[in-house]
Chains A and B, each alone.
Chain A
Amino acid sequence: MKVSILQFPGTNCEYDTEYAFKKLGADTEIIWHKSESIASDTDLLVVAGGFSYGDYLRSGAIAKFSPVMKAVTAYAEKGGKVLGICNGFQVLTEARLLPGALKRNEGLHFISKHHHLKVENNDNIFLKKLSKGAVVNIPIAHHDGNYYIDEAGLKDLEANGQILLRYTDAAGNIQNPNGSVASIAGVCNKEKNVFGLMPHPERAMEAVLGSADGIAMLEGFFES
C-alpha cells in the first residue's frame, strides 16, 4: 500500500497524515506541489490539511492551479483513489473533483474541537469498515467548513449515496457546528473514488490523544 501525500506552501497536516498511514502499515511519500507527476505505484493520493497559499482569495482556490493538480485530476479521472482532508477537501471542491463548496463557518469563528460524526453511507472504499449509522469522534479544525450545495445538487448526493458523514451528537442526532447544508461533513464523487471531509481522521489515531476512531476510517483504503 503506497500513499502519496500532497504538500502545498501552507500545508501543515502532511506529517500527521504520514504518521497515520505509516501506523497502519503503508509506505508514504510526500509530494511537493511543483511536481508534475505522482508516483505510478500510488494506491491512495491524499490532499492533506492546512492553509495552502494562506487561504488567499478563497480556501483552496490558488492550490488548484499548482503544477501537481493536473496529475491529480488525471489520476482521479483514471479511477485512482483520492482523499482530501480539511483544506484538501476545499482544494478538491475548488478543482471541481468534488461537488459543492466550502464557505465561512456560519458563526464566523474558527472551530477546533472533537466532534461526533455519523456514517451516512458505507458502500464505498473509505467507510466500508464502519457500519451505516455508526458514530465516530473525530477532531474538526476549520474556519471555512460550511458545506454548500444547491437543492438539486443535494438531491443528487442523496440519491447516489454520496454523503459520507454528517455532524451529530454522541447519540447520532444532527448537531451542526458550522452551518453546513444538511449537516454534511464529507462527500464523495459519483464514481466513489474521490473523497473529501472537513474532520481530521489522521488526528484521531491514538486513544491517549482523545480518540482512535480515525483508524477504522483510514483502514478502509487498505483492502481492495
Chain B
Amino acid sequence: MKAIVNVFLKAGVLDSQGKAVHHALDSLHFDDVKDVRVGKQIVLQLDTQDKEKAMADVTTMCEELLANTVIEDYNIELV
C-alpha cells in the first residue's frame, strides 16, 4: 500500500513561496489565479494491507515528524 501525505502551511500562516509563485503567474497573465499555496508531498511505500493500521501509523508519523503542526496541516491518502 502507498500513503501519500500532503503538507501545507495552515490557512492564516503566510505562505511566502505561494505568494511569489502567484506573482510569477500574474506576470504570465494567468489572471484567473486567485490564490497559490506551495506545499510538499511525501510518498510512503507501506508493507501492510491493513488500511486502519496504516492510517493510524501515518497519522502518528505526521504528528511526530512529517508535519510541524504549529504551522502546518496535513492530509493522508492511502492508495
Contacts and interface: CB of A to CB of B under 8 A. Distances in A.
B65 A61 contact: yes
Contacts of A101: 68, 70-71
B17 interface: yes
A58 B17 contact: no
State which size class the interface on A falls in.
10 to 19
A94 B16 contact: no
A58 B70 CA distance: 13
A93 B16 CA distance: 20
Contacts of A57: 65-66
A221 B66 CA distance: 35
A219 B67 CA distance: 37
Contacts of A61: 65, 68
Nearest first, the 9 A-B pairs at minimum CB distance are: A101-B70, A101-B71, A106-B16, A148-B71, A101-B68, A108-B16, A104-B16, A58-B68, A108-B20
Interface of B: 9, 13-14, 16-17, 20, 65-66, 68, 70-71
13 contacts: A57-B66, A58-B68, A65-B65, A93-B70, A94-B68, A100-B70, A101-B71, A104-B16, A105-B16, A106-B14, A107-B16, A148-B70, A148-B71
Interface of A: 57-58, 61, 65, 93-94, 100-101, 103-108, 146, 148-149, 179
